[in-house]
């Protein structure tokens, strides 16, 4: 494929990613648009309007949904298993920068990395939660509103943001469900 052909294909995908955000198109048409440009969304799953999707590198199992205003940066694959419910304003970040003591770390082109995110069967993600690169949320987990998930979770856990005295707010396993 020529460079111009690649550009047209890329521009087409970008246009379709923006079009799918519209609240004026049906959920069925939105799913069809996303599947046409490379996503793998099951016919019983829903991506609601106003979601910001950086790419169509998404796999959704049956009976899953992503609610309005969710954000996915699109740098690596996002896999959502069957029965997953994602609340409004959820954030999926699949790319980041390595942190080191090098004072030039911000200008280093080699410091970037992308890692996929997987959300296990039957999990629920609360409003405004953030899932960071490389995280696997185990089946049956409930992630509380506003939680930041930076490492893999254990199955059937309830994860809430908890402030530790003198430290950062982190998602901690509160109990098993």
67 contacts 45 by C-beta, under 8 angstroms: no
Dihedral angle over CA of 75, 112, 136, 128, nearest 10 = -70
SS (H, E, C) the chain: CCHHHHHHHHHHHHHHHHHCCCCCCCHHHHHHHHHHCCCEECCCCEECCCCEECCCCEEECCCCEECCCCEECCCCCEEECCCCEECCCCEECCEEECCCCCCCHHHCHHHEEECCEEECCCCEECCCCEECCCCEECCCCEECCCCEECCCCCCCEEEEEEECCCCCEEEEEEEEC
Which residues have a catalytic role annotated? 97
Residue in the structure block whose two tokens are 């696997």:
136
């Amino acid at each position: 494929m020529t460079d111009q052909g690649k550009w047209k294909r890329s521009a087409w995908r970008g246009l379709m990613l923006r079009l799918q955000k519209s609240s004026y198109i049906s959920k069925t048409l939105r799913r069809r648009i996303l599947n046409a440009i490379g996503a793998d969304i099951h016919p019983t799953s829903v991506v609601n309007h106003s979601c910001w999707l950086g790419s169509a590198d998404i796999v959704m199992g049956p009976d899953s949904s992503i609610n309005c205003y969710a954000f996915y940066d699109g740098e690596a694959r996002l896999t959502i298993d069957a029965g997953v419910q994602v609340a409004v304003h959820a954030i999926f970040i699949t790319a980041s920068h390595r942190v080191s003591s090098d004072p030039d770390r911000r200008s280093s082109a080699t410091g970037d990395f992308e890692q996929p995110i997987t959300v296990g069967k039957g999990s629920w993600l609360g409003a405004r939660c953030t899932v960071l690169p490389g995280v696997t949320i185990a089946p049956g987990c409930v992630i509380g509103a506003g939680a930041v998930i930076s490492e893999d979770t254990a199955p059937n856990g309830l994860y809430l943001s908890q402030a530790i005295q003198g430290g950062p707010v982190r998602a901690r396993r509160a109990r098993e469900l």
